[in-house]
Structure 1
Amino acid sequence: MEEIPVTDLFTVNNLWMMIATTMVFIMNLGFATLESGLTRSKNAVNILFKNTIIPVIGLLTYAMVGFNLMYPGAEFAGGFFGFAGFGLSAPEGWDSSNYNAGYTYFTDFLFQAMFAATAATIVSGAVAERVKLGPFITFSILYVAFIYPIVGMWKWGGGFLNTLETPFYDFAGSTIVHSVGGWAALVGAFLLGPRIGKYTPQGMKAIPGHNLSMATIGVFLLWFGWFGFNGGSVLSANPGIVSKVFVTTSISAASGAVGALFISYLKFKTYDITMVLNGILAGLVGITAGADQMSVLDSVFIGLIGGGLVVFGVVFFDKIKIDDPVGAISVHLVGGVWGTLAVGLFGNLAGMNQVISQLIGIGAVGAFCFATAFLIFFVLKKTVGIRVDEKEEIEGLDINEHAMRAYPDFAAKD
């Protein structure tokens, strides 16, 4: 068989990486429609605005400082922190396989920038319907510019988690992306407090979202984007690994839906579409850490358990009065921790040494992200405030923060 010329192979690899990048980019639309659909119509514009501005912040901050914090260079291997300088500076050979066998320097940057934006988007849903827009944007800038890339450097940039005796493993970011966002979501929801009327002396009151059609569209857009999220993390167009990752990703998502459906029906005796939707996402988050290492059967178990955990997570956080309108903490934090631990329990890397390394990574990232998110949100709370006042919350953030409504033809007339 005639060998494929190196230049042609490089072009194919780079093309797949660019396609994967666009698929991950579409996940921003998925988050926007999901979060908007699961919240009330009076806050729809606010949700859409946040999910529009976050990828903008992600791209700009990642270009200015984030990329070089996350990939500071070989001299910082095994460390906790490194910085290669401000801005983007393509090295010699950036546009050929001299830079990397799978992609160019700028493809590398753009693919990683999409991941950076995702971490902050996770926070948006958990703090929905009562957070001030300005402080939220400030938090997002600081978190995406500095916290996410420092954590990313610990593994993907050659940092200390990558140089453990048994290296911590996170293929596409169950911990490094999803739990980074999940820890911040937990902190934000805790410091903000619950929405008015959510928890009363009579018990917890359900506050339903206004458009489950949009929420469903959002989940399927996210599922579609996850093929780029996980498939692109192969970092080449290797047909065997990419196709396997597509299968494990899909199987875990489907199993997540089944797990959430089963557990939610046992608990609530109803077929809850929101639990099934979040079960799909929990399955996707769960498989992300080890999508390249799992068999089909492993993926089934990871998804089933992840889907069940998301139901228990939603119930638990409501019990302790952490108000998360979209279930982001249960999906991304609980699911991220589970998926990361699952690498040591299932698949090619299973073993006690790997479990210990996974726990070290979960603990280090959790402690750092919880502390830094708490510091940023707490300072903002004590200075400019992070929660809108009662009148604004009752009337809705759309009319107060944006002077417009998502559905003006259906709004009550003054």
Structure 2
Amino acid sequence: MSGEAITSFNTVWVVMAAAMVLFMEGGFSLLEAGLVRTKNAVNVTMKIFVDLTVGALAFYLIGFGIMFGSDWGGFVSFDLWGAAESLKLSIDLPLPAYVLFQLGFAVAVISIISGAVAERMSFKAYILVALFVAAVLYPISGHWIWNADGWLARLGMKDFAGSAAVHAMGGFSALALAYAVGPRRGRFNSDGSVNVFAPSNIPLASAGAFILWFGWFGFNAGSTLNAFDANLPSIALHTSLAASAGGASSMLYTMFRYGKADPSMTMNGALAGLVAITAGCAFVSSYSAIVIGLLAGLFVIWGTLAVDKMKIDDPVGAVAVHGVNGLFGTVAVGLFDTQAGLLTTGQTRLLLVQLLGVAVVSAWGFAVSFVLAKGLKATVGLRVGAAEEEEGLDMAMHGIPAYNDLERFSDQPEARLLETYGVTVGRERAQFDA
């Protein structure tokens, strides 16, 4: 096959994979909208649009160059976009296809944070968070791992599709911001007990989980960047096996421990399996992928309980899914890697490198995000007011509810209904009819 044909096949594969990764934003939107309360469903959807607009542009204009440009000592690049033009890929692939693929990963990092701060963060503050994460926070630590000159890459750290670079970093960033913004009103009692807030729509959330599962094939298998990679089918298989195992262990644990199979934990268990296998999907066996998924499904439950015990409010379980299992999945490579894992070969070096890498990246995400949160709190404000939180961010921030239930306001004149919902077209039509 000619070189031109190989490049064409690779281009089509990577662009399709990038589209799958970007389609995962629909999954984030539905998952979060289904798990938060009805009055905040529009707000979480709007935050996903922030990720896809402000966040995507920030990464393209600034973040990509920081992440993949030539660097200073393996720690950071200041070459921005111009240096990225000289990026040398190890396979035949046009640079725009690679940029598009990486852009999807950057957007996903921001969306991890979205769920953890749902229902109480200022929309303006979130826009600034998205801008900073995509332009600076994620690209710098991503540079350490995925730039060939990055210091963790030179140590030999293995993170095939981002358990550390995307999920652990994003998860611990989410932990810092959730802690800084504080819990939703009424979430915790003075004795430390937790009040359960009913999710708005579990079937909607499950649809989001299914979309994320589907998109993850682009996330992991697409990271081959090569349509002819012999490992591509096994990477895809390992991805799905870990998801199945994670969902199974979470479902069975809740069923036997609490007497009922918990839907949200089952969904998060499957997602935890996906997060955990992301680093090692190209480096472990199928049986190891199942073991990793089974453990991830348990870690997400215990991680959720631990976050609650710390009185940190995470409405969708983002910290447990992404932070805890991003950390575990990165370490699991050091345990199960077929060529250098502790449990497979008896070697320890890779495990130590993985531990160092994920610890540094997680600490980076937490520390910088905490400082960012304090800065936002002192300037534009980090949290909405009590009245806005009580009303719900859909109406307070966006002027429209998630569900059209006008009959609840049937005692109000039409003008008041239209004002309540901010329906511009409807208001103009009413004036025309009058």
Q: What SS does the corresponding residue of 1:289 show, helix, strand or coil? A: coil
Which deviations, in whole Å up to 9, do the C-alpha atoms of 1:356-398 show, x marking residues without a partner? 0001101211222111101111111122221111111111001
Are residues 1:195 and 2:184 paired? yes
Counterpart-to-counterpart distance in 2, 1:118 and 1:410: 35
Which deviations, in whole Å up to 9, do the C-alpha atoms of 1:23-46 show, x marking residues without a partner? 001000000000000001101110
Shift of 1:240: 2.2
Counterpart-to-counterpart distance in 2, 1:409 and 1:212: 19
Partner in structure 1 of residue 371 of structure 2: 375
Are residues 1:329 and 2:319 paired? yes
Counterpart-to-counterpart distance in 1, 2:353 and 2:201: 42
Which stretch shows the higher mean deviation, 127-136 or 235-244? 235-244
| Residue of structure 2 aligned with 1:406, choices 399, 402, 408 | 402
Contact 2:24–2:212 (CA under 8 A) maintained in structure 1 = yes
Partner in structure 2 of residue 41 of structure 1: 38
Counterpart-to-counterpart distance in 2, 1:380 and 1:89: 31
Change (3 A) 1:129 1:287: same
Are residues 1:12 and 2:9 paired? yes
Which deviations, in whole Å up to 9, do the C-alpha atoms of 1:157-193 show, x marking residues without a partner? 12000111xx111000001001111011101111111
Contact 1:302–1:339 (CA under 8 A) maintained in structure 2 = yes
Q: What SS does the corresponding residue of 1:291 show, helix, strand or coil? A: coil
Which deviations, in whole Å up to 9, do the C-alpha atoms of 1:277-312 show, x marking residues without a partner? 000000000000010011110001000000000011
Partner in structure 2 of residue 310 of structure 1: 300
Change (3 A) 1:182 1:411: farther
Are residues 1:85 and 2:74 paired? no
Q: What SS does the corresponding residue of 1:412 show, helix, strand or coil? A: helix
Counterpart-to-counterpart distance in 1, 2:143 and 2:407: 48
Contact 2:169–2:364 (CA under 8 A) maintained in structure 1 = no
| Residue of structure 2 aligned with 1:108, choices 75, 98, 109 | 98
Counterpart-to-counterpart distance in 1, 2:258 and 2:383: 32
Partner in structure 1 of residue 53 of structure 2: 56
Are residues 1:123 and 2:151 paired? no
Counterpart-to-counterpart distance in 2, 1:69 and 1:151: 10
Which deviations, in whole Å up to 9, do the C-alpha atoms of 1:255-291 show, x marking residues without a partner? 0001111222233221101000000000000000010
Which deviations, in whole Å up to 9, do the C-alpha atoms of 1:65-116 show, x marking residues without a partner? 111100112x64x51011223468745xx9xxx8652310100111001100
Partner in structure 2 of residue 177 of structure 1: 166
TM-score calculated relative to the size of structure 1: 0.94
Q: What SS does the corresponding residue of 1:194 show, helix, strand or coil? A: coil
Partner in structure 1 of residue 28 of structure 2: 31
Partner in structure 2 of residue 161 of structure 1: 152
- RMSD across aligned C-alpha pairs, in angstroms? 1.6
Counterpart-to-counterpart distance in 2, 1:299 and 1:99: 28
Contact 2:299–2:324 (CA under 8 A) maintained in structure 1 = yes
Partner in structure 1 of residue 329 of structure 2: 339
Change (3 A) 1:59 1:39: same
Shift of 1:144: 1.2
Paired amino acid for 2:101: F
Change (3 A) 1:387 1:11: same
| Residue of structure 2 aligned with 1:231, choices 207, 221, 244 | 221
Counterpart-to-counterpart distance in 2, 1:139 and 1:149: 14
Change (3 A) 1:323 1:411: farther
Counterpart-to-counterpart distance in 2, 1:227 and 1:41: 31
Shift of 1:330: 0.3
| Residue of structure 2 aligned with 1:136, choices 123, 126, 134 | 126
Change (3 A) 1:325 1:235: same
Paired amino acid for 1:125: G
Name the % identity: 39
Shift of 1:50: 0.3
Paired amino acid for 1:296: S
Shift of 1:238: 2.4
Contact 2:56–2:134 (CA under 8 A) maintained in structure 1 = no
Q: What SS does the corresponding residue of 1:204 show, helix, strand or coil? A: coil
Superposed counterparts of 1:257-406, under 5 Å: 257-348=247-338, 349-351=340-342, 352-406=348-402
Shift of 1:225: 0.4
Which deviations, in whole Å up to 9, do the C-alpha atoms of 1:111-130 show, x marking residues without a partner? 00110011010000000001
Paired amino acid for 2:349: N
Counterpart-to-counterpart distance in 1, 2:258 and 2:116: 23
Paired amino acid for 2:227: A
Counterpart-to-counterpart distance in 1, 2:407 and 2:194: 27
Contact 2:137–2:365 (CA under 8 A) maintained in structure 1 = yes
Paired amino acid for 2:177: G
